Structure 1
């Protein structure tokens, strides 16, 4: 599902981005020159082998690390550090254990200057949107993994981000819970139409969720092939059509390690 014409917030651009980390022998490249544009309201997945730099690319978009070369822009403004209008969700839920589900969402809304009553109303609505009505007073330790991630999603979308960066958010969940989270995220995203950059190592997950998939090579990472998805939503890995199955086979082929040279 593409953004409506009126949705103009959240254009993310990677312009000739290179990322390197300091090593004992000098800079070690993590991501080679990458140029990529995420149009407002679209859902983009990046998939690649472990260590290919896909999470590094997301961390640069979040403003946590700076590129060695090139720049990243959101709505034309260079990313210089973390931005409250850019939401980030990791595999680990990063919830405050001493706050309830409602308290965690309320805390994230404080930076926007809402009154206490407004924050409570928005937090309650956000929790209801992710299926947690009646769970507001529970602490993270009383919630399952899927419910914790629902709180994280509610907390992020309550602030109406123009872009949402997700780093393997469902990687720690069992298959059944992950499937329900795919349905939930798809529904919430369609309601808000924030621009999403989703990092995953799961091909089926990318095919279920994304408008566009970029496949990265082994590190130092670079995009080796891109795919457009036009299948209607909602989608299910159990009901992929012929085009999706062909795309799945091609992506798996790209991710397969190169054959060992003959002895």
Structure 2
């Protein structure tokens, strides 16, 4: 759990990411600067292939920037660490471990006594409502339950930053709504800095403090929306402003409306 309010600041300073190709280098992410303040929830939205996941992978330490600097609390990000947790759409659970075993796996490198490791893992499963399913294997769990295990496994190590790449994209609409509520509860307790990558404008507006919109590839930031509506949000009771922002973002995501940031 992240108790310190000033822990988890992510600095993205003039970052460019290029990948080699047969003809020439391809720019996956154009020059981008952004600060994720400690404990905030930022949604990143944009067209397919615009570099959203590339930026997330760079913050996770999986991809090195071609130019610019990435930092966490002022220190350069040079590779993966327990300070930055990642949750993917496809759960990434080990099929040979139970739910409890998958959560315990996240704690292995911390060198905890076995009893403490098990206790923390069970507490994390209880937090996501899976105490009764601790001994089930992933193939015995629904999609929503698998993602709950992934959330428990990530939060149990107390990351400063949580990166989520389309985490609910494979779930049905009803399950997504319940997962939104669960995520909000866990995040408000732990207050990790969250970067949430999504294609879903409604999801971004209902969950985030800040919404960042990216252009067509090569991606760059073209708009920022700071949201002040109280949570839990709903379009039916959050006033016309949220609906107006929704329509504006949908317009920005159309290729002909690829605008320069204001």
- Shift of residue 238 of structure 1? 4.9
- Residue number in structure 1 paired with 2:118: 120
Partner of 1:180: 178
Whether the 8 Å contact between 2:235 and 2:243 is mirrored in structure 1 is no
SS at match of 1:15: strand
Corresponding residue SS for 1:23 = coil
Q: CA deviation at 1:111?
A: 1.0
State the distance in 2 between where 1:258 and 1:164 align. Answer: 33
In the other structure, the counterpart of 2:92 is 94
Instruction: Give the SS at the match of 1:198.
Output: strand
Which aligned pairs between 1:6-45 and structure 2 lie closer than 5 A? 6-45=4-43
Q: Deviations over 1:137-192 (max 9, x none)?
A: 00000000000000000000000000001100000001110010000001100000
Deviation of 1:243 after TM superposition, in Å, equals 1.1
Aligned to 1:207: 205
- Give structure 1 stretches of 5+ with no counterpart: none
Q: Over aligned residue pairs, what C-alpha RMSD do you find?
A: 1.3
Gaps of at least 5 residues in structure 2 are 258-262
| Structure 1 stretches of at least 4 aligned residues deviating more than 6 Å after TM superposition | none
- SS of the equivalent of 1:258 reads helix
Partner of residue 135, structure 1: 133
* TM-score (norm: length of structure 1): 0.95
Select which of 56, 59, 67 maps to 1:58: 56
Work out the CA distance in 1 between the residues paired with 2:99 and 2:10.
30
Q: CA offset at residue 209 of structure 1?
A: 0.7
How far did 1:32 drift? 0.6
2:9 and 2:73 in contact (8 A); partners too: yes
Counterpart in the other structure of 1:225: 223
Query: C-alpha offsets along residues 181-232 of structure 1, whole Å, 9 cap, x if unaligned?
Result: 0000011000000000010000000011100000000000000000000011
User: What is the rounded CA distance, in whole Å, between the counterparts of 1:200 and 1:100 in structure 2?
Assistant: 29
Report the 3-state secondary structure (helix = DSSP H, G, I; strand = E; otherwise coil) of the residue aligned with 1:134.
helix
SS of structure 2 residue aligned to 1:17: strand
Q: What is the SS of the residue equivalent to 1:10? A: coil
